[in-house]
């Protein structure tokens, strides 16, 4: 059966829930999603096997050390054959690892680069950890809960 995103290749380096959920939707619509995991710990969701299988269905994965020249070289070859690159790093980490927008667009100008961070790439909350309960607090939703 032909799916909407057949033929689209997505590389993902996002391990907190928003990134994997986003790529799950893309995979369910037919995209080939390749998750790049850290070699030391992999995807932390692996500690929750049922959750990991549910959020990573229809995806492929591999382990790369982006702090090594060989790991970056392999990543760059994958980028050249990808349509989308999605990362969920804190601001500045993608640049440190050599996978920021400016570098990857030189490899593939048509690449769609998606960056998911808790509070954006600049502004007063740039370094805050981003999780559901903290989003609710910053938005004022927790103040509406009766004692």
CATH superfamily, with its number, for domain 9-116 = Crotonobetainyl-coa:carnitine coa-transferase; domain 1 (3.40.50.10540)
User: What percent of the chain clears pLDDT 90, i.e. is strictly above it?
Assistant: 61
Instruction: Name the more confident of 56 and 41.
Output: 56
Q: List the chain domain ranges.
A: 9-116
| pLDDT confidence of residue 141 | 84
Q: What is the layout of strands, in order, in the sheet containing 32-37?
A: 59-63, 32-37, 9-13, 84-87, 112-115
Position 2 pLDDT exceeds 80: no
> Going by C-beta distance under 8 Å and a sequence separation of 6 or more, which residues neighbour residue 143?
none
Confidence of residue 1 (pLDDT cuts 50, 70, 90): low
Structure confidence by residue, pLDDT tens digits, 107-130: 999 999 999 988 888 888 888 877
């Amino acid at each position: 059966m032909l799916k909407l995103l057949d033929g689209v290749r997505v590389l993902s380096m996002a391990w907190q829930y928003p990134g994997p959920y986003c790529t799950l939707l893309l995979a369910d619509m037919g995209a080939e999603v390749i998750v790049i995991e850290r070699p030391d710990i992999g995807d932390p969701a692996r500690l929750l096997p049922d959750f990991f299988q549910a959020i990573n269905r229809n995806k492929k994965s591999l382990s790369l050390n982006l702090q090594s020249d060989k790991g970056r070289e392999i990543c760059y070859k994958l980028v050249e054959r990808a349509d989308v690159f999605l990362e969920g790093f804190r601001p500045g980490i993608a640049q440190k690892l050599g996978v920021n927008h400016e570098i990857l667009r030189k490899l593939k100008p048509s690449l769609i680069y998606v960056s998911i961070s808790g509070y954006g790439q600049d502004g007063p909350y740039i370094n805050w950890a981003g999780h559901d309960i903290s989003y609710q607090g910053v938005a004022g939703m927790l103040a509406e809960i009766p004692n």
